[in-house]
Amino acid sequence: MAAVTSSMNTVWDVEPGESRKPGIVHVVMLALFTGIGIVVGTFGSLAVPLGFVSAFWPGQAVQSIGAIWFGWWGGIAAALFPLISNSLSGSAPLPVSIMYLPGNLLQGMVAAWAFRYFKTDPSLKTQKDWWVWIIFGAVLPNLIGAAWGSTTLVAFGLVQQAAQFTTFLGWFIGNTIPTVILGSLVLKFVSPLVVKTKAFCKGLWA
């Protein structure tokens, strides 16, 4: 009797004969996701402003989701859209937003890397998927983002060093909660559609 072997195919596995490379559709998706982020980020910044932080910023959900689905294209969108949404909402002037860039990029790419490394299904089907999402899609990116952002505010003299921890805490909580709620909903219900599109990136670029 032949040995039965099972190999679980994940959405990240490239099918035999499949060729994936970056194309125009990825650039378009980058632009569209940046547009979505601009609207969501501006709304979040204006909704419940607490000085420089927002008590409710769902923009980070868009950052994580975009990078999970579209790899670096989503990561670039994650870095770019706060430049515009912060300017539109007035929550941070341009020089501060430019300094936020590395933090914003990491807020997206941490989730992108984790989902691919742990072969996590973006539709959040199993408990492991949920844990990876919450830890690497919500908690860790926002720890990094809040640390970077609050340090930037101190560097620009907008917040005193002594208040940095409080700022960090407000930033972290205000970003993480909407990410967990909103991001979970979107990943659960929209990922099954996204993984069938040619824009979906199994690798980090295609």
Partner 1 sequence: MTNGPDELRPARLLIVRGMTIMAAESVPVGVRAPKMRKTLLGYVPIVSPFYDYHPVTRLAMYIFFGVAPVFIDLPEVNVVLLLITIGLLLWGKVDLRRLRIYLPLIATVAMFMFTMVFIFPGQDPSYTPIRIGPATIYYQPVFFTFASYWRLMAMLFGTILYFSTNRERDMLVALRAIRLPFIASYVVGLSIRAAGMFMEDFRTIREAEQARGLDTSAMKLSDQAKLYMMYLIPLFSIALRRADEISNALFARGYTLTGQVEGGGRRSDYILNQYQMTTKDWGWIVIFMALFVAAAVAQYGFGLFRLVNSPLNIYLRSLLGIP
Contact flags string 171-190 toward partner 1, x per CB under 8 A: ----------xx--xx--xx
Residues that contact partner 1, how many (by CB under 8 A): 56
The Cα–Cα gap between 206 and 202 comes to 6
Is 36 a residue that touches partner 1 (CB under 8 A)? yes
Between residue 59 and residue 88, which ones bind partner 1 under the rule CB under 8 A?
Answer: 80-81, 84, 87-88
Residue closer to partner 1 by CB (options 134, 163) is 163
Handedness of CA 189, 190, 191, 196 (dihedral sign): positive
Is 155 a residue that touches partner 1 (CB under 8 A)? no
Is 169 a residue that touches partner 1 (CB under 8 A)? no
Applying CB under 8 A, which of residues 25, 135, 147, 180 lies at the interface with partner 1?
Answer: 25
Is 27 a residue that touches partner 1 (CB under 8 A)? yes
Note whether 69 and 107 are within 8 A (CB). no
Note whether 56 and 178 are within 8 A (CB). yes
Is 31 a residue that touches partner 1 (CB under 8 A)? yes
Strands 53-54 and 49-50: antiparallel
Applying CB under 8 A, which of residues 13, 93, 117, 125 lies at the interface with partner 1?
Answer: 93
Q: How many CB atoms lie within 10 A of CB 166?
A: 13
Contact flags string 105-144 toward partner 1, x per CB under 8 A: ----------------------------------------
Q: Is 124 left (phi over 0), alpha (psi -120 to 50) or beta?
A: left
Alpha-carbon distances of 130 from 8, 11, 127, 176, rounded to whole Å: 18, 16, 5, 15
CB of 70 to partner 1, least distance (A): 10
